């Protein structure tokens, strides 16, 4: 009797192997041979699911992004406003428990998306969804009287987005500066600025 292959499970296993190679060695070291060795599959099995490196990087990025989104939703369940925003910060930031691992995947994708319209669209769609969640928390904060006077929500969405992206970059490129103490202090400072001294 032929072995039944769970294609979703195999695909997820390949994506995990790609992610680990990017984290350990960088995207330029990703080859079908390396992935096959990491995942324990034949070379041909990889190509069946992912025809090229672009599709592999996209899958790894989407996996990292979707997991962080799901974790953020769980972490913010039952809270709103600035506390929900703070919990989102803590989930997305490259703190020591997780380190810069996810950030390495994200930065690899950013590098390619800056030059590739298709990847740019994929990133834009997902970052727009994240910005929508930030906007929701800020709108709740305004409704609850938490935001300082004169805080513009769209400007605040941009500041929070830039804060998140900046620390991901710092964790990979200036790791000695991206300590938990520094990151948490930056989060608390940003929240305090949004409160406007309240």
Q: State the SS3 of the chain.
A: CCCCCCHHHHHHHHHHHHHHHHHHHCHHHCCHHHHHHHHCCCHHHHHHHCCCHHHHHHHHHHHHHHHHHHHHHHHCCCCCHHHHHHHHHHHHCCCCCCCCHHHHHHHHHHHHHCCCHHHHHHHHHHHHHHHHHHHHHHHHHHHCCCCCCCCCHHHHHHHHHHHHHHHHHHHHHCCCCCCHHHHHHHHHHHHHHHHCCC
pLDDT tens string 65-112? 999 999 999 999 999 999 999 999 999 999 987 778 889 999 999 999
pTM of the model: 0.87
Query: Which domains does the chain possess?
Result: 1-51 (1.10.10.60), 53-195 (1.10.357.10)
Determine the Cα–Cα distance for residues 145 and 196; give it in Å rounded to an integer.
11
| Average pLDDT for 185-193 | 96
> What tens digit of pLDDT does each residue of 125-158 get?
999 999 999 999 999 999 999 999 999 999 999 9
**pLDDT one-digit tens code per residue, 11-69:** 888 898 888 888 888 888 788 888 888 888 877 778 888 888 899 899 999 999 999 99
CA-based torsion, 64, 89, 79, 135: positive or negative: negative
Q: Report angle CA 131, 126, 27 to the nearest 5 degrees.
A: 125
pLDDT band at 1; cut points 50, 70, 90: very low
- ∠ CA 147-103-54 to the nearest 5 degrees? 120
**Locus of tokens 């804060």:** 163
Two tokens, residue 132: 């929508």
**164: Cβ–Cβ under 8 A, 6 or more apart, which residues?**
89, 92, 93
């Amino acid at each position: 009797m032929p072995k039944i292959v769970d294609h979703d499970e195999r695909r997820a296993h390949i994506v995990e192997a790609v992610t680990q190679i990017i984290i350990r060695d960088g995207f330029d070291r990703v080859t079908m041979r390396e992935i096959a060795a990491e995942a324990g599959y034949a070379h041909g099995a990889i190509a069946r699911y992912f025809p090229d490196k672009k599709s592999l990087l996209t899958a790894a990025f989407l996996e990292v992004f979707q997991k962080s989104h799901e974790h953020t939703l769980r972490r913010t369940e039952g809270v709103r406003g600035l506390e929900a925003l703070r919990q989102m910060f803590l989930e997305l930031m490259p703190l020591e428990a997780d380190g810069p691992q996810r950030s390495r995947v994200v930065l690899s994708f950013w590098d390619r998306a800056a030059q590739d319209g298709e990847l740019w669209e994929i990133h834009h769609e997902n970052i727009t969804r994240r910005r929508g969640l930030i906007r929701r928390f800020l709108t709740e904060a305004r409704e609850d009287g938490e935001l300082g006077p004169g805080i513009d929500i769209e400007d605040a969405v941009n500041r929070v987005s830039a804060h998140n992206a900046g620390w991901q970059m710092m964790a990979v490129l200036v790791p000695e500066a991206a300590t938990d103490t520094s990151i948490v202090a930056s989060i608390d400072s940003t929240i305090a600025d949004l409160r406007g001294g309240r």
